[in-house]
A and B are shown apart, each in its own frame.
Chain A
Amino acid sequence: MAKLNMVQAINLALDEMMAEDPSVIVLGEDVGVDGGVFRVTEGLIEKYGEARVIDTPLAESAIIGTAIGMALAGLKPVGEMQFCGFSYIMIPQLEGHGSRYRSRTHGQFHVPLVMRVPYGGGVRALEHHSESREASLGHFPGVKVVIPSGPRNARSLMRAAILDPDPVVYMEPKRSYRAFKEDVPETPETVEIGKAQVIQEGTDVTVIAWGAMMHTTKKAVEEIRQARGASIELIDLLTISPMDTETICASVRKTGRLAVVQEAPLSFGPASEIIATVNDHALMHLEAPVKRVCGYDVVTPYFGRENLYMPTVGRARRGIEEVLDF
């Protein structure tokens, strides 16, 4: 058991997978000698060499496009988009090809690649360094999108992403990179992609969050528990797509109430998809309207105003209490 932060945990998972499987390779801008601008790939080039840890020229479309070719031929590339704001340049390749080789050939070809995408706000960075775009990426059939919330699940999800036979976008909440440490077990754990995790059981209300919002939501939940002793069931979504209908609906059937906390803009986001899913499978169990605590439908403001626009502990708490008090 080692106490690691999220950067160290992802690095550990990459290191373990590269050691276990020579077909795992890492590529991207500044991922080699520099160890990545966030140091997530630190030390890998020294250990595995330039052929397996590639400092690419500056071109996102080429990073994913060549990774698709590598994956088609049996490698397991783990590419990096330096920031979510630059990941849109990969979309023609991801949507047009990465997501489709399997269905296009009825399974003759498949594309086992991982694209790491640091995302999210709260780090006082320049424009394009703060967006949460899991909704856009989650909208492509054939692409899996996962988001860890802490060091321990970051390690297990990365393992699962690399072992997965299909393209996985692995989004890293960079505000949580060094925010806290967790015990990460000696022996690797694997989680199943497509499964949410109930991290705290309860009976009064279900609360769902993911990524950096998990941390914010946990604090809000704890405040409410202390203030009024409510029994809250807290779910870490972990996989945006394909979403875990079972875990979400089983919980709502039990609690009858639901609140979702999402950093991304309100419209067309995972929170909306969660509500639609509950509507399809557990509507008659709801005792209150579902509350969404979300970002707003504005272009992500520069960091001078950014914090006003991110869901806070207070906002999450008020949203959850609104559902409890209905």
Chain B
Amino acid sequence: MPKKELDTFSVSYLSILDEDGNVDKDLEPKLKKPELIELYRQMVWARRTDERMLKLQRQGRIGTFGPSTGQEAAQCAVAFAMKKQDWFAGAFREHGVRLLRGETLTRQLLYYNGQEEGNINEGAANPRNLPISVIVGAQPLHAVGLAYAMRLQGETETCAVTFMGDGATSEGDFHEAMNFAAVWNLPVLFVVQNNQWAISVPRSKQTKSATIAQKAIAYGMPGIQVDGNDALAVYAAASEALDRGRRGEGPTLIEAVTYRLMMHTTADDQYKYRTKEEEELWWRRDPLVRFRGYLEAKKIWSEKDQEALEEEYKAEIEKQVKAFEEMSGWKPDAPFDHVFGTKHERIEAQRREFLAETAKEAARG
């Protein structure tokens, strides 16, 4: 019997605003002027705060930190397409998503200063943002569970969006999450920020697949590769995926091709494994520069607007850094409060010992 072809597959790549500023008019999302400006402002806010955090780390004012610079379009344009009620289950490099969804620089600084208080979302921040997940590849499964719960509870208009890196796609949990989401036909959006590196390991050593997007096909869901430095393409792909989810048509995988312009974290030296030339190539694809050019071509943004924005952000950053540095009064035994939701004498006895020992340590000097 001759072999017969059962199926054939293809993967597509979406780019709307290219490196040279050309726009595909047919694909251009129908965003209004204030929306375009708001998206741009959010991307600049993500960049400026990221730069400031890097400086603060270098001055010893916060601890280890992994910059997002270069990935603003991949992050902010997805967050911009999300609705407030959507869940966000991120990894550790979605600074832009967190800020856009209401988290403050102050809270981020607290987190990177080694305080769980930085994970608490209060006030304007979205209570449907899960905290940073450092364990690579774990949180996509949580997104699947969140989406399942939403459907069971009748919130059919709510999606769960989960982010991970190219490295994370090698973990078993990633594949299990994709499989469950597809089998259960859930409104989950998987966003892989393919920033070309997982610490020192290049994308080529991470997977033999020609694209990460095509991994979706094996699980029975659509996958698309987008230019992750093109805010319009990311926005269009995310909007379409979220609409599908809300219509009950199941999960989607978006591979956003982008680049980690800085070190993995401040503890890393990226020149052990890659060149400055490679970085320069990607600096030329800076998503901020590209999007600003688009706004300027539309005559809705000018040098003057930019200057005003920079002034505004400078002041706002100062304010938030100051607020962070003035915070005090941390309860030393807070970890005992939050081991369990119930009180247990075995833990309380250790709390008493802890407090007594801490006092003796202070006396010892």
Chain A residues packing against B (C-beta within 8 Å): 29-30, 32-35, 37, 55, 57-62, 85-86, 89, 124-129, 266-267, 296-299, 301-306, 308-309, 312, 314-315, 318
Name the residue of chain B whose CB is nearest to the CB of A293. Answer: B357
25 A-B pairs whose Cβ atoms sit less than 8 Å apart in the complex: A37-B199, A55-B200, A57-B207, A58-B136, A58-B168, A58-B170, A59-B171, A61-B172, A85-B135, A86-B136, A125-B63, A296-B351, A297-B347, A297-B350, A298-B336, A298-B347, A299-B335, A299-B339, A301-B116, A301-B335, A302-B116, A305-B115, A306-B114, A308-B354, A314-B364
Known interface pairs A58-B167, A304-B113. Does A29 touch B199 (Cβ–Cβ under 8 Å)? yes
A-B complex: 7 closest residue pairs judged by Cβ atoms: A303-B114, A34-B200, A304-B114, A57-B170, A58-B167, A298-B335, A304-B115
B198 at the interface (CB under 8 A from A): yes
**Complex Cα distance A312/B361, Å?**
8
Check if B330 sits within 8 Å of A304, measured CB to CB.
Answer: yes
Known: A30-B201, A57-B205. 6 other contacts (CB 8 A): A29-B198, A58-B170, A58-B201, A127-B134, A267-B346, A309-B335
The number of chain B residues touching the other chain, given as a range, is 35 or more
* Minimum distance in angstroms from A256 CB to a CB of chain B: 25
Chain A minimum-CB-distance residue to B334: A305
A37 to B113, CA, bound (A): 21
Say yes or no: A33-B200 contact (C-beta < 8 A), given A57-B206, A305-B330: yes
Bound complex: CA A57 to CA B203 (Å):
9
Residue of A nearest to B268 (CB): A37
Minimum distance in angstroms from A57 CB to a CB of chain B: 4
Known contacts A37-B267, A125-B63; decide if A298 and B201 are in contact (CB<8 Å): no
Give the interface centre of B136, B334, B339 by most chain A CB atoms within 10 Å. Answer: B136
| Chain B: minimal CB distance from A87 (Å) | 11
In the bound complex, CA of A301 to CA of B335 (Å): 6
How many angstroms between the C-alpha atoms of A146 and B334 in the bound complex? 33
Residues of B within 8 A of A305 (CB): 114-115, 330, 332, 334-335
B64 at the A interface (CB under 8 A): yes
Q: How far is the CA of A10 from the CA of B336 in the complex (A)?
A: 37
Please indicate the chain A residues that have their CB under 8 angstroms from the CB of B361 in the complex.
Answer: 308, 312, 314-315
A296 and B200 form a contact (CB under 8 A)? no
Contacts of A127 in B (CB 8 A): 132, 134
CA A314 to CA B167, docked complex, whole Å: 43
Measured CA separation A61–B111 after assembly (Å):
29
Chain A CB within 8 A of B276 CB: no
Binary A-proximity of B201-241 (CB < 8 A = 1, otherwise 0)? 10001110000000000000000000000000000000000
User: A302–B206 contact, CB under 8 A?
Assistant: no
CA distance A58 to B205 in the complex (A): 10
Q: Which of chain B's residues have a CB closer than 8 A to the CB of A34?
A: 199-200, 272-273
Contact across chains for A302 and B350 when beta carbons are under 8 A apart: no
**Once the chains are docked, how many angstroms separate the CA of A245 from the CA of B14?**
65
A38 to chain B, nearest CB (A): 10
Which A-chain residue is minimally distant from B269 (CB atoms)? A34
Q: How far is the CA of A183 from the CA of B91 in the complex (A)?
A: 43
Question: Could you say which residues of chain A place their CB within 8 Å of the CB of B136?
Answer: 58, 86
Given contacts A299-B339, A312-B361, contact A33 B199 (CB under 8 A): no
Q: Are A58 and B171 in contact (CB under 8 A)?
A: yes
Chain B nearest CB, measured from A30 CB (Å): 5
CA distance A126 to B92 in the complex (A): 10
- Measured CB to CB, the nearest residue on chain A to B351 is A296
Chain B residues whose CB sits within 8 angstroms of the CB of A85 once the complex forms: 134-135
In the complex, whether B358 has a CB less than 8 A from a CB of chain A is yes
B322-337 contact mask (Cβ, 8 Å, vs A): 1 or 0: 0000000010101110
| Distance of A301 from chain B, by nearest CB (Å) | 5
Give bound CA distance, A267 to B200, whole Å: 38
* A126-B64, A315-B361 known; A298+B339 contact, CB < 8 A: yes
Answer whether residue B360 sits at the interface, using C-beta atoms and an 8 A cutoff: yes
Instruction: Check B201 against A302 for contact (C-beta < 8 Å).
Output: no
Closest A residue, CB atoms, query B274: A33
Q: In the bound complex, what is the Cα–Cα distance between A287 and B137 (angstroms)?
A: 52
Q: Is the CB of A55 within 8 A of B272?
A: no
Closest chain A CB from B139 CB (angstroms): 13
Closest residue of B by beta carbon distance from A39: B272
Verify A126–B116 contact, CB threshold 8 A: no
- What B residues does A302 contact at CB under 8 A? 111, 114-116
Give B203 Cβ to nearest chain A Cβ, in Å: 10
Q: Cβ of A57 and Cβ of B358 under 8 Å apart? A: no
State the Cβ distance, B197 to closest chain A Cβ, in Å: 10
In the complex, chain A residues whose CB is within 8 Å of the CB of B360: 314-315, 318
Interface residues in B249-276 by Cβ distance below 8 A to A read: 267-268, 272-273
**CB of B215 to closest CB in A, whole Å:** 13
Residue of A nearest to B132 (CB): A127
Do the beta carbons of A30 and B199 come within 8 Å of each other?
yes
In the complex, residue of chain A having the shortest beta-carbon distance to the beta carbon of B168: A58
Nearest CB of A to B252, in Å: 23
Query: Which residues on B sit within 8 Å (CB–CB) of A60?
Result: 171
- Nearest-neighbour CB distance to chain B for A3, whole angstroms, equals 25
Would A128 and B134 count as touching, CB distance under 8 A?
Answer: yes
**Measured between alpha carbons, how far is A128 from B131 in the docked complex, in Å?**
14
Contact present for B206 and A124 (CB under 8 Å): no
